Structure formats: structure tokens, C-alpha cells
Chains A and B, each alone.
Chain A
Amino acid sequence: MDTPVLEVKALKKRYGSLEVLKGIDMSVSACERIVVMGSSGSGKSSFIRCLNGLEKTDEGTIHFLGDSIESLGESSWRRVRQKMGMVFQNYSLFPHFNVLKNLMFAPIRERVMSASEAERKALGWLDRVGLRDKAQAYPAQLSGGQQQRVAIVRSMMMQPDVMLFDEPTSALDPETVGEVLSIIDDLTADGLTSIVVTHEMGFARRCADRIVFMDEGRIIEDCPPEQFFTAPATDRARRFISSHK
């Protein structure tokens, strides 16, 4: 129980001559809700994509549930990803499947559960996020906020051990940001380990157990939200907070 769910040590990544991650150290325990913040160019997106294997790392280690994952082949990543849910900025639902099929496709195909169980669970999730009546609709018929809610639930269907969110509300209208954030809050409140990359300050303040603040490829703050928002250690963090009020 004491093994951290995710442990990152001295992670480095380069794009050609540009170093985007200059040595990241981070540890995530079970049930922790981490919010990662930083201005654009800080490397926060690259970081979270490295955790999920969508980007390759150059140096350092990542341990997930005790196993090293930083240099896996694509087929091994597949197994890991089934335990790690990821939600993207641009929802990326399968446009040719209806909502229900979007939710059931992966769990059934990868034998996580049977077809009837998948349907039951899918309808249950849709109920929970208020989209039960959209089960037969196609993504094109849903609004951005609705699509993102479906995308979140689609990842949850695989029963992951940790959920990663890469700026889940950045592509949404301001009015729908709130509804998606409250869904994320609701779903992760009862013990699901999660890492959310976002600049929504209100959400970070309310829901995070820890704030990780990145700047120019390094983590320069890693502390509980009250400490981060009232007495940040670094100047950059101070400036970031005031510019995003």
C-alpha cells in the first residue's frame, strides 16, 4: 500500500535541440488528486503524454504500480494504457460509433468485461453524468461539453488505476467548462488517483490534494493548494497566479 502509484525520477525529454523536460521528479500516491499547472511551453503537456507513452522519453525513469514503463514497446504500452485512462483536450470520440458503442467498444474488444456487463456499466455511467438519453446519439450530434463527458466516461469504462487529463476544458465554451470540471471532481472524489493538467484555478483550489507547478521543463512548486495559492515559494508561481485570476 505504500508503493506510489506513479513514480517519476529525473525524467528528461528533448525535441531535437530543444529540451522540454529537464529532469522531473514526482511521486503520486494512491487516491491522490494532482493538478499540474504551468504556462504554455512549461512542458506540462509533454510530461503527461510521456506518462501515457504517447511521447518517448530520453532519460530518467517512470514506475507505474512498481513496474518500470519508460522504455516499453508499443504492445507492452497497450497493457499499461488499459490501466491508465487519458482524456484529451479534443475529446476524440469515434465519429462513426454512437455514444453507447464508443463506451463499450474497448472494454469488450480487450476482454475487460462481457458485452452485457459493458452495456450495463455504460448506461450506469451515462446516468451518472446526465447523458442517459444520448446513448444512441452520434458524437456529431452532441455539444463539446457533452462529447467531453462521454470521453471521460469512455476512459473510466476500462476501470483504470489512474486517470490522466490533458487540459480537458481548454477546447470548451466557458459555460460548459464548469459542468465538465464538476464531473471530473465527482468522479475522482471517491478515491480514484488522478493527474489533471489545467489552468482552472478554482478547480485546482477546490479539488486538488497537491499542486505541481511547472516552468521551462522543471517542477518548481509541489505543495498543497492552500500553500500554493497563499504563499508560493517562487516568483514565477506568484506571477502565474496573479495573471490567471
Chain B
Amino acid sequence: MLKKLLIDKFFRNKYSKFLRNFIGIKPSYYNLDYTNKNITVSDAFFWRTDSNFTTVFSFTDLLNLYYSISNQTIELVFYSKDFKILKRLLVEQTNISNKIIIDKSFFDGLEDFGTFYIFHNSSVKFNSMIRNSCYTGFSYKGCLPSFVHGNTQTSYKNLSTNKEIYGVCAKSFFQKKKYKVQNFFSYDKTELLLMNPCSSRIKIKINSDSFFLDKGCSKIFDINKYKEVKILSNAYLLRPIIINYKNDKYIDAHHG
């Protein structure tokens, strides 16, 4: 029993996972050691204030809901599309469920896009690991936001050290990962919102177009000329957010 636990612990630690992902045998997809405690993990979320967009962020206070820890704060960290830090927002009084509006006034008039992350701050130990996989709603021209859930663990904060680590999604060094989006695009316009969730630069090929994306950087890729989308990269999980447009009025945001 003890032997099994030790072997299990060995294969789940971050060094073993890095090796498995590197050589592509039984990849774990995330360079995260799930045996660590007091860790708050965040998916990467897109914000948009460009092109008449406003973003609504909807999240649950997980420490309050599951661990009854209410005397804590939540921090949102906003990055530009080039992964330069733009803003830190400390939310001091949270409800169980919360919503935050991210418009251009939130960024002092900035009309652009990028990513953001959500972490808890707590001096109370909860001896586990939580994942903030929340929901972003994209409102186009002031209309009803179209919501999409987070889908890739990308960063974490260790509450003992207060250190934030980004780019925990694994990549393979030996093969191109093919991801064919399982939807048929017959809209006036379709955009893919992509971000690099890995710890270093990745090469991405979308159908016949290739480009590089550095760690944490994001890009909006127009796929108007394609009805179907095939993505090649060395990231194990490169799932885009997809926004479809109709009549330059109606949008549908969903994950790939």
C-alpha cells in the first residue's frame, strides 16, 4: 500500500510530468503537481474591449463555498495581448457568485484584448488545490453577453509563497499536435481567440497559415476564408474561444 502511494506520488509530481510530456508517453497535459496543498489554479480568460466589445466575468468564490473561508480576497490579474501586465484588481468583499464588467473605462480607455487570471489570497490554510474555471461573457455593441466557460488550466498561485506561475499547460517536443475543431463555420465572420498556455514559445499552424506565439501571448485569428479549422501546434491543449458573427449584430461565443 505504502509502495503504491509512493509510486503514485512519484508519477504525479511535476518533474515526472514534465518528462512524460516531453517524450509524449502518457502525457499529463499540465505541469502541475496535484499533491501540493494551498494552491489556487486559474484558467486563462480572454478580455475584449476592442471592436465594440465589453467582457463580463462571472466567478464563484470557491474558498467560501467549499471551505467556508470568507475572510479572504480575490485578485484578478490582467495582461495585454503581449503578456505585459496591465492591471491588478483586488476584490475584497465577494459573494458566493460574482460578476465584474470589463469595458474600456476599466482600462482607462484602452480598446484592445488580452488575457486575465483569477487567484485567491488567504492566510487560512485549506490544504487542497482549487481551480478557478469561470465564465466570460462577450457583449457585442452593448447586447446580451454570450457566455463561455474556461477550458484550460494555465496558471497557479501558491498561497504559502504568494508566487504566481504562468504557462503550466504541457507541450510536446517531438510531434505536432493536431486539433481539428469539431464545428462547421458558415457565418458572416468567425474569429478564433488563441493564447499560448505553455511556458515557452509555440508554433501554431491554422489550416495553411503559420505563426509563433510567445508564452502568455494572445491573438485573434480571422477564419473567414475557412469553413473548417485544423490547428497544428506542439501544445497539448490549444483550445480556442470561437466567436461567430451574423448581420454584424448577433454573436455566438463558444469554446473549440
Q: Do A and B come from one complex?
A: no
Interface residues of A (CB under 8 A from B): none
Binding site for A on B (CB under 8 A): none
